[in-house]
């Protein structure tokens, strides 16, 4: 099955010629089991964009202001995240196998696979109800891959249901941003009509009405954002391809209504458990295979340690990266919900991890964070410090040795799993869209719709902070100020997205759609050195890497190999 899919979707995007193996379309789609497997295979790449090892040296988190790359010594030729994005030298023909073409190729390969399925589905020997479900799932998946393309490049060629061969003339004129958004929304609306609100049991992980509406929520939120809503990147025909030429504030209302539609289903909720420990519902969510918070997820085999192998420190046989920056750590407020920069927060720089938002410890491992012991029972702290503590010198996990920032990633890790340890694995699947994002989508869009935040905006943020384990306070506001302006609430929402959705692939795109990447990703990123000598401990911030960002990087370049195939495929601005 996989051989047929790969052969018929040869690397090189939808302009590539089609070849086949002895598994032809007729032999595959004449068999119901093969057809089901063909559809299942299209699901396998839905999480490629946010894969923690996408660039071979970290994912999008390591190409943003969230985290440092896993191996800083790699060159431009072997590491796109370090060599091009963080260095600010992205171009359509970077000398690397990872030139950003993965989104273009993966997107169109899977869109072509969907079109193959839809063409052959009428003759597949399955019941009409099953065909209806499969068609709806396929249309959602096609919309999903188009969204990933638009997220990277802006407007892209829409090829509809057409299956092209190498003998056909393939129109590659890029569709306008508006047409792409409308197409994604219409496909999701059509698919939603034939799908259950949420999938359960053996169908858990498949597309649902909820995932259709959630994708609409995300794409309309993006469409309303400053990067696209009256684009400043280009004018004329190219301007209409990379965004809407003019600003229309009513687009925020469309985004608000779309998020509200997901909430109104009543099928999804935040995973809460504040009896075990403050904010434990946030940490305990991610190891749960079936849960009511995931709306779209990438299924993984049971007994996996995918993330532990990437993010665990060396003492637990992980590769360690990507490594959180101090700037991300500083973004987490205190347990009272007040930012650490506020004099009333009670933040103590001499004890920087005490009394913080519980999501900090569930997202970042720092000196003395307690982790399970590999190939054994029990737990022990990791030693990120330099010097000695109780006579024990710093080991392989220490800053400058195991971590270049003084931190390791803890987000979504199973607290009982250890990298490469067959006795301590997890049944986790990976979130693509979860309900917490929908609440944040709603809060952001609703805040932009009005001149001042409504009570519903406050409620959405309070729900997240309550689940996070932040204390309500005497006023029951979880650290939020009453009577905030639209601009003040905007900053609160942006920071809440940063910490709630960290390492889930959002920050890279959020700073772009908000058009703040020229600040967020154009600065010296820092880490924290912890020095111990007996019982004495000190903390010192140090520089890790200067990030560079230029205007062209608000969008990815169309791969030069694709542009070279046709003069009709115009390049993005400033490339």
Check which CATH number belongs to the domain holding 165 and give it.
1.25.40
| Count of structural domains within the chain | 3
Residue 449 placed within a domain: yes
Q: Give SS3 for 283.
A: helix
Domain boundary, last residue among 152, 179, 206: 179
DSSP state of 15: G
Residue 64 placed within a domain: no
299 and 357 within one domain: yes
What is the CA 538 to chain-centroid distance, rounded?
35
In the chain, the percentage of residues whose pLDDT exceeds 70 is: 93
Q: Give SS3 for 244.
A: strand
The more confidently predicted of residues 474 and 86 is: 474
Specify the pLDDT at position 77: 47
Report the distance separating Cα 416 and Cα 139, nearest Å: 38
The contacts of residue 525 (CB under 8 Å, 6+ apart) are 65, 68, 325, 326, 327, 543, 544, 545, 546, 547
- Residue pair 227/513 in contact (Cβ under 8 Å)? The answer is yes
Domain boundary, last residue among 431, 452, 485: 431
Specify the pLDDT at position 215: 99
Phi then psi dihedrals of residue 248, to 5 deg: -140, 105
What is the CA 486 to chain-centroid distance, rounded?
26
Q: Which residues of 504-533 are buried (b: 16+ CB within 10 A; e: fewer)?
A: bbbbbbbbbbbbebeebbbeebbbbbbebe
455 and 334 within one domain: no
Residue 113 placed within a domain: yes
Specify the pLDDT at position 374: 84
363 and 510 within one domain: no
368 and 401 within one domain: yes
CA distances from 84 to 74, 549, 561 (A): 11, 10, 18
What is the residue whose two structure tokens read 């073409």? 101
User: What's 492's domain CATH number?
Assistant: 1.25.40.900
Specify the pLDDT at position 73: 59
Specify the pLDDT at position 288: 96
Report the distance separating Cα 541 and Cα 405, nearest Å: 9
Q: Give SS3 for 302.
A: coil
Taking only the tens place, the pLDDT of each residue in 512-529 is: 999 999 999 999 999 999
Taking only the tens place, the pLDDT of each residue in 378-430 is: 899 999 999 877 777 788 999 999 999 999 999 999 999 998 877 789 999 99
pLDDT at position 1 over 80: no
Specify the pLDDT at position 16: 41
Specify the pLDDT at position 11: 42
Taking only the tens place, the pLDDT of each residue in 363-390 is: 999 999 999 998 878 899 999 999 877 7
386 and 322 within one domain: yes
Judge if the upstream peptide bond of residue 171 is cis by omega within 30 degrees of 0: no
Closest by CA position to 71, among listed 253, 352, 349, 322? 322
Closest by CA position to 68, among listed 549, 525, 567, 553? 525
Residue 256 placed within a domain: no
Specify the pLDDT at position 133: 98
- Residue pair 112/8 in contact (Cβ under 8 Å)? The answer is yes
Q: How buried is 492 (Cβ within 10 angstroms: 0-12 exposed, 13-18 middle, 19+ buried)?
A: buried
CA distances from 540 to 244, 279, 527 (A): 46, 28, 8
Compute the average pLDDT of residues 308-313.
94
- Residue pair 402/313 in contact (Cβ under 8 Å)? The answer is yes
Report the distance separating Cα 24 and Cα 120, nearest Å: 12
Report the distance separating Cα 172 and Cα 503, nearest Å: 34
312 and 285 within one domain: yes
End-to-end C-alpha distance for the chain, whole angstroms = 39
Compute the average pLDDT of residues 267-281.
95
Residue 333 placed within a domain: yes
Compute the average pLDDT of residues 453-477.
98
Residue 467 placed within a domain: yes
Specify the pLDDT at position 56: 77
Confidence class of residue 3 from pLDDT cuts 50, 70 and 90? very low
Q: Which residues form the domain of 304?
A: 280-431
471 and 414 within one domain: no
Specify the pLDDT at position 197: 98
Compute the average pLDDT of residues 524-552.
94
pLDDT at position 69 over 60: yes
Report the distance separating Cα 137 and Cα 188, nearest Å: 10
* Token pair of 193 as six digits: 């009509």
Task: Report the mean per-residue pLDDT for the chain.
Answer: 91
Report the distance separating Cα 512 and Cα 505, nearest Å: 13
Closest by CA position to 310, among listed 63, 70, 544? 70
Q: Please tell me the least confidently modeled range out of 2-11, 90-99, 150-159, 292-301.
A: 2-11
Residue 392 placed within a domain: yes
Compute the average pLDDT of residues 17-29.
63
- Residue pair 460/320 in contact (Cβ under 8 Å)? The answer is no
What is the CA 325 to chain-centroid distance, rounded?
17
Report the distance separating Cα 54 and Cα 59, nearest Å: 5
Taking only the tens place, the pLDDT of each residue in 113-153 is: 999 999 999 999 999 999 999 999 999 999 999 999 999 99
10 and 148 within one domain: yes
- Residue pair 329/403 in contact (Cβ under 8 Å)? The answer is no
Domain boundary, last residue among 376, 409, 431: 431
Query: Model-level pTM?
Result: 0.94
461 and 354 within one domain: no
515 and 387 within one domain: no
Taking only the tens place, the pLDDT of each residue in 322-352 is: 999 999 999 999 999 999 999 999 999 999 9
Specify the pLDDT at position 109: 95
351 and 312 within one domain: yes
Confidence class of residue 18 from pLDDT cuts 50, 70 and 90? very low
Residue 223 placed within a domain: no
Rounded to the nearest 10 degrees, the angle between the axes of helix 177-192 and helix 128-153 is 160
296 and 417 within one domain: yes
């Amino acid at each position: 099955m996989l051989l047929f899919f790969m052969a018929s979707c040869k690397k090189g995007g939808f302009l590539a010629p089609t070849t086949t193996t002895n598994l032809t379309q007729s032999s595959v789609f004449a068999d119901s089991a093969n057809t089901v497997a063909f559809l299942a295979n299209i699901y396998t790449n839905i999480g490629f964009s946010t894969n923690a090892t996408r660039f071979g040296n970290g994912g999008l988190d390591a190409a943003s202001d969230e985290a440092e790359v896993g191996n800083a010594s790699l060159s431009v030729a072997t590491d796109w995240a370090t060599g091009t994005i963080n260095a600010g030298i992205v171009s359509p023909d970077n000398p690397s196998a990872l030139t950003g073409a993965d989104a273009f190729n993966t997107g169109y390969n899977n869109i072509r696979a969907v079109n193959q399925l839809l063409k052959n589905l009428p003759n597949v020997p399955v019941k009409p109800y099953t065909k209806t479900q499969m068609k709806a799932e396929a249309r959602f998946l096609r919309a999903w891959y188009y969204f990933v393309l638009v997220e990277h490049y802006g407007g892209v060629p829409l090829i509809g249901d057409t299956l092209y061969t190498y003998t056909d003339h393939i129109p590659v004129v890029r569709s306008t941003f508006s047409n792409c958004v409308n197409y994604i929304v219409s496909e999701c609306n059509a698919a939603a009509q034939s799908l259950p609100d949420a999938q359960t049991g053996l169908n858990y992980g498949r597309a649902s009405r909820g995932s259709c509406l959630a994708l609409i929520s995300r794409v309309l939120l993006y469409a309303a954002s400053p990067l696209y809503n009256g684009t400043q990147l280009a004018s004329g025909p190219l301007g209409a391809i990379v965004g809407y030429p003019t600003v229309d504030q009513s687009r925020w209302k469309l985004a608000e209504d779309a998020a509200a539609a997901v909430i109104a289903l009543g099928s999804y909720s935040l995973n809460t458990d504040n009896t075990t420990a403050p904010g434990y519902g946030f940490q305990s969510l991610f190891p749960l295979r079936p849960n009511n918070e995931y709306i779209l997820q990438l299924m993984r085999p049971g007994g996996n340690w995918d993330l532990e192998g990437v993010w665990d420190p060396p003492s637990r046989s992980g590769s360690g990266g990507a490594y959180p920056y101090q700037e991300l750590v500083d973004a987490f407020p205190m347990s009272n919900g007040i930012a650490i920069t506020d004099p009333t927060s009670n933040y103590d720089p001499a004890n920087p991890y005490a009394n913080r938002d519980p999501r900090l410890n569930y997202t970042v491992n720092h000196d003395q964070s307690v982790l399970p012991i590999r190939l054994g029972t029990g737990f022990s702290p990791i030693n990120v410090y330099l010097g000695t503590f109780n006579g024990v010198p710093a080991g392989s996990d220490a800053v400058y040795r195991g971590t270049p920032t003084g931190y390791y990633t803890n987000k979504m890790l199973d607290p009982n799993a250890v990298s490469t340890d067959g006795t301590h694995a997890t049944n986790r699947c990976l979130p693509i869209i979860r309900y917490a994002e929908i609440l944040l989508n709603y809060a952001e869009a609703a805040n932009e719709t009005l001149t001042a935040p409504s009570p519903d905006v406050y409620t959405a943020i309070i729900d997240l902070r309550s689940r996070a384990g932040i204390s309500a306070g005497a006023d029951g506001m979880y650290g939020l100020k009453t009577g905030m302006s639209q601009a003040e609430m905007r900053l609160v929402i942006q920071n809440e997205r940063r910490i709630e959705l960290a390492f889930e692939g959002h920050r890279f795109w959020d700073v772009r759609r908000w058009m703040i990447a020229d600040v967020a990703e154009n600065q010296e990123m820092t880490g924290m050195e912890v020095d111990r000598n007996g019982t004495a401990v000190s903390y010192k911030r140090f520089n890790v890497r200067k990030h560079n960002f230029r205007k062209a990087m608000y969008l990815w370049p169309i791969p030069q190999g694709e542009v070279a195939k046709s003069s009709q495929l115009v390049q993005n601005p400033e490339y």
